[in-house]
Structure 1
Amino acid sequence: MARMEDMEDTAVSFSQGTRMLFYLMSPNETSFAEVEQVPGYVQQATPFFVGMIFLEVLLGWLKTGDLLIKINDGTTSLSAGMMSRLPDLFVRSLEVSSYIYVWNNFHMLELPWDSAWTWWLAFLGVDFGYYWVHRCSHELNILWAAHQVHHSSEYYNLTTALRQSVTQQFASWVFYLPMALIVPPSIFAVHIQFNLLYQFWIHTEFVRDLGPLEWILNTPSHHRVHHGRNRYCIDKNYGGTLIIWDRMFGTFAPEDDKVIYGLTHPINTFDILSVEFEYYVYLWQQFISADGITHKLSVIFNGPGWTPGKPRLGDPEDLPEVTGEEVPHNPQWSSTLQAYVHVQFLLVLVIYNNLFATEHMLSQTTVLLITGYILLTLTTLGYIMDQSPNAALWEMSRCLLMLALHRYGYISAMVPLLALATEVFASLSAIYWALQCFTKLANKQKRH
């Protein structure tokens, strides 16, 4: 759920922030007459996301002596999450805006917004809608093109929860519209956020079993199965907050063998543009090469495992065998470069958060410039992590742009306490990458 335009983003207490993540807010404190009064709960939860990620890192280090979150994979997951929210700087979430349109023009019954019964009905309705959004995103190739982003990590930790698609909301809104016939938009706007917030904490390996709650709630154990590429994990456990829908519709599988995470055909890249959009390119190529209109439509509307002559969702026997010994894609790179990527990412994260906090006070031109800079930064950091041959040129260009934006006040206004340090760091970075470019050019000329 994206941050919604014109919503209040008031500070929350530690108790409220924690309870938001576990869907433990009461109807009395989260019922509103108008959608404009609904807080941006996802934005408010950001510090709690960060705190829980650091806690998971600390617990992992204490338990294993190793960092469970790799800088390249974790940065890619966070980059995808950042990209998924950037459109909300310019347009309201489609899930909310389409819901409001249907409510304003077609609602048949107006349930009271201040009733606990309405609140709980919306809780069930949103979760039921999410089950079908999620299931269709696995069973329809055109929707899988967006959702595969979330499954592309070969690690399973809290950063994986934030690896979201920038395009998924362009289809998910349809599944919630029946609720708009009776449930007020303000109640929907609360639950669409809480349903997403709940799913953050279940992306962890630290919580093994919740006892009797496993029968009702979606838990880390159930969701680990969903993220697996083992054959028994494929197309299972679609629930958001509740697991009862999977049990009712025959898509439930308990955690059994060791789960190997990621896509059945790993993408092996940290380039955020490839992570977000490469499957669309693949889908287009499959569509063009398919014979006849029937096969072309099947490429779009059948499952991602479908090929001519196979069932609609493909044949599980065609999936690559999982041995349990698979090693996630994690190429070696220097600790100095890892530190560099870490610092640059933290800087752009500060800029990103300040942009969302102040965008109502900025001109559209400024918002566009900073948004473009954020996208460029996330892209070039991906090139560095992929050790792309063109990474030096792209990063040098980005550092020069960073200096220009800083000098004209666009970035310095976003990081006032670090203004001087940021300018020095950007200058030194630009010089370093320029030297890398010249060295590569000289070596290339020598070879010729």
Structure 2
Amino acid sequence: MAETMDLGSVSRGFRAMFSMLSPNESSFEKVEDVPPYVQQATPFFVGLMVLELVLGTLKTGGSVVTISDGITSISAGMISRLPTLVMRGCELTAYMYVWDRFRLVELPWDSAWTWWFTFLGVDFCYYWVHRFAHEVSVLWASHQVHHSSEYYNLTTALRQSLTQQFTSWIFYMPLALVAPPAIFAVHIQLNLLYQFWIHTELINDLGPLEWIFNTPKHHRVHHGRNLYCIDKNYGGILIIWDRLFDTFALESDKVIYGLVYPIRTFEILRVQLHYYFYLWRKSKYYKKINNKLSTFFKGPSWKPGKPRLGDHSNNPKVTGKEVPHDPSWPLHLQVYVVVHFLLVLAVYHDMLSQLTILGMTGYILLTLTALGYIMDQRPTAAFLEMLRCVIMVAMLRFGYMKPLLPSLSVPTEVRLRIITDPTSSSAGSWMKMYDYDSMEKQSKFICVLPASL
């Protein structure tokens, strides 16, 4: 029986990745009964990314993902989920508040009609979440994170914003007047999971499905910085909304991915926050209050005298010969970054109490920032990484991370030794390599590149 249940769980988890669950198996009366589909999808994320890597290598003769870009994308995904570790998601919290106080009708939670209505409602609302995130600069400041990669692969799907969830909930509130929260909690997860597999270049035309569903072919256009790709194909699961509202474009010329003005960095906090600083600087150029406000609430390309969304014809020309940002860096640093990234990834999945979560959230942010500095080859990377390693050694030695270690057959003290010894060595190595005379001088481990926040 246990084996059958396990197989059933695997089947449901895999089908959830493609929003292929039936109403009977995914309708719940209470929000507390809704499975954490996104959390349970981690093995499928990993499996599909490995499969894409293998098939991509066989098909193209090269890798479809680089270490630097892949780690940056996964790091963004980790950061985007941190708020949900200490509180329920903003979308669901706000949704339940409106439902409890202002609902107009109470559709039956166990009706297939309610399930399908909510499916369409969530996808329709997501279209507008997504469209506004491109057409309103202050919302684009959060969403640009997802578009910052110059590659297009399954790790790109995980490159999510820390701040977008704090505004996206607004667009789902009309649905909260009629659709039960538990059914909404199902579909908000399934809608997100569906969008994972469409981030690949390995799948081409899917025939008649292209008319109704969002597919890799359609979503590649959305991620392009070619002129014909800008502000197109916003759909989540369905592409019909784009066809209805005239935001649809077919893939034609070779798609060049990334931001119109690439940021060319792997430092995760800079990826997350740089556009907010840009908007602030841009607004300071204007003296009129209406121009200052327009900087934040009109399109990213807007300037005084231009339409609401600006003039995209002034964007840098795309030639099709653009090369993604992938600076060369020593193999030993690549191994170092991967090892320490895997360590913090293990910590991320094993956080427990609220107090531990808050402390470890800070440590995770410090680690991902330090690894980004290394990948960017910044002069100050050695100092920051030395500091991070010292903090981790102290946390391990004083037992603050013992509750976070996975329960394996190996004794805890052995696991501590396995992690602590290389971390201590890392701290010592960075300490020896760092030039204390100036934080702006070149570390013997790090190549100097012009990089600044």
TM-score by length of 1: 0.93
User: What does residue 194 of structure 1 align with?
Assistant: 190
2:390 to 384, 387, 400: 400
CA distance in structure 1 between the aligned counterparts of 2:8 and 2:166, rounded to whole angstroms: 30
Contact 2:435 2:441 in 1 (8 A): no
2:128 maps to 1:132 = yes
Letter in 2 for 1:436: M
Q: Report Cα offsets for 1:134-162 as digits up to 9, x if no partner.
A: 00000000100000000000000000000
Q: Is the 8 A contact 2:379 2:441 kept in 1?
A: no
- Give the match for residue 419 of structure 2: 422
The match for 1:175 among 162, 168, 171 is 171
Q: How far is 1:15 from its partner? A: 1.4
Assess, with a 3 A threshold, how the Cα gap between structure 1 residues 371 and 11 changes in structure 2: closer, same or farther: farther
The CA distance in 1 between the partners of 2:61 and 2:283, in whole Å, is: 47
Distance 1:13 1:109, change over 3 A: same
2:451 corresponding residue in structure 1: none
Choose from 329, 342, 346 the match for 1:346.
Answer: 342
In 1, distance between residues paired with 2:77 and 2:327?
23
- How far apart are the structure 1 equivalents of 2:113 and 2:355? 45
Output the CA distance in 1 between the equivalents of 2:25 and 2:428. Answer: 53
Give the 3-state SS of the residue equivalent to 1:13 in structure 2: helix
CA-CA distance at 1:96 after TM superposition: 0.1
Q: Judge conservation of contact 2:56–2:62 (CA < 8 Å) in 1.
A: yes
Change (3 A) 1:411 1:65: farther
SS in 1 for 2:434: helix
Structure 2 distance, partners of 1:369, 1:408, is 14
Residues 140 and 374 of structure 1, relative CA distance in 2, 3 Å threshold: same
Structure 1 residue 193: Cα displacement: 0.3
Root-mean-square deviation (Å):
1.7
Does the aligned pair in 1 maintain the 2:385–2:430 contact within 8 Å? yes
Q: CA deviation at 1:437?
A: 0.8
Does the CA contact (< 8 Å) of 2:76 and 2:160 recur in 1? yes
8 Å Cα contact 2:380-2:440 kept in structure 1: no
Q: Does 1:411 align with 2:401?
A: yes
Q: Which amino acid aligns with 2:285?
A: S
Q: Of the candidates 49, 52, 68, which is equivalent to residue 53 of structure 1?
A: 49
Does the Cα contact within 8 Å between 2:380 and 2:439 map onto a contact in 1? no
Distance across 2 between alignment mates of 1:73 and 1:411: 28
Task: Name the CA distance, whole Å, in 2 between partners of 1:17 and 1:253.
Answer: 32
Among candidates 384, 388, 397, match of residue 378 of structure 2: 388
Secondary structure of 2:84's counterpart equals helix
Report if the CA contact (8 A) 1:146-1:166 is conserved: yes
Residues 324-349 of structure 1 show CA distances to partners (whole Å, capped at 9, x for unaligned) of 00001111101111111111101110
Q: 1:371 aligns with which of 352, 361, 370?
A: 361
- 1:23 paired residue among 10, 19, 22: 19
Alpha-carbon offset, residue 365 of structure 1: 2.6
Report the alpha carbon displacement of residue 297 of structure 1 after superposing the two structures with TM. 1.4
Counterpart among 316, 324, 336 of residue 328 in structure 1: 324
Task: Spell out, residue by residue over 1:390-439, the C-alpha distance to the aligned partner (whole angstroms, 9 max, x if none).
Answer: 00000001001010111122224323553221111101111110111148
Q: Secondary structure at the match of 1:134?
A: helix
Residue equivalent to 1:311: 307
Runs of 5+ consecutive residues of structure 1 not aligned to the other structure = 1-9
* 8 Å Cα contact 1:103/1:180 also seen in 2: yes
1:110 aligns with 2:106: yes
Aligned residue identity for 1:73: D
| Structure 1 counterpart of 2:48, one-letter code | M
Q: Which of 145, 150, 154 is residue 154 of structure 1 equivalent to?
A: 150
Q: Equivalents in 2 of 1:210, 1:442: separation in Å?
A: 53
| Structure 2 CA distance for partners of 1:442 and 1:345, relative to 1, 3 Å | closer
Alpha carbons of structure 1 residues 440 and 256: separation in structure 2 relative to 1, 3 Å: farther
Cα distance, 1:440 vs structure 2: 7.2
**Structure 1 Cα separation of the partners of residues 286 and 441 of structure 2:** 41
Q: Distance in 2 between matches of 1:443 and 1:51?
A: 41
Letter in 2 for 1:219: T
- Kindly indicate whether residue 255 of structure 2 is the aligned counterpart of residue 259 of structure 1: yes
The 8 Å contact of residues 11 and 44 in structure 1, kept in 2 or not, is answered as no
Would the aligned equivalents of 2:133 and 2:140 in 1 still touch at CA under 8 Å?
Answer: yes
Q: Which amino acid aligns with 2:174?
A: P
Distance change in 2, residues 1:179/1:335 (3 Å): same
* Residue number in structure 2 paired with 1:145: 141
CA distance in 1, matches of 2:439, 2:205: 58
Which segment is superposed worse, 403-412 or 203-212?
Answer: 403-412
* Offset of residue 63 of structure 1: 2.0
| Aligned residue among 237, 259, 271 for 1:275 | 271
Is 1:393–1:433's contact at 8 Å kept on the other side of the alignment? Answer: yes
Amino acid at match of 2:91: E
Fraction of identical pairs, as percent: 62
1:32 to 28, 32, 42: 28
Per-residue CA distance 1:15-35 (angstroms, 9 max, x = gap):
112101000000000000011
Alignment partners' CA distance in 2, 1:232 and 1:260: 11
Query: How much has 1:441 moved relative to structure 2?
Result: 6.0
What residue is the counterpart of 2:429 in the other structure? 432
Query: What SS class does the counterpart of residue 354 from structure 1 fall into?
Result: coil
1:443 Cα offset (Å): 11
Check 1:334–1:120 CA distance in 2 against 1; reply closer, same or farther (3 A cut): same
Provide the C-alpha distance between the structure 1 equivalents of 2:93 and 2:86, rounded to a whole number of angstroms.
13
Structure 1 residues 275-321: Cα deviation after superposition (integer angstroms, max 9, x where no partner): 00010001111122212011111101110011111111111210110
Determine if contact 1:12/1:44 at 8 Å carries over to the other structure: no
Give 1:12 shift: 6.5
Contact between 1:370 and 1:410, CA under 8 Å: does it hold in 2? no
How far residue 259 of structure 1 moved from its aligned partner, in angstroms, is 0.2
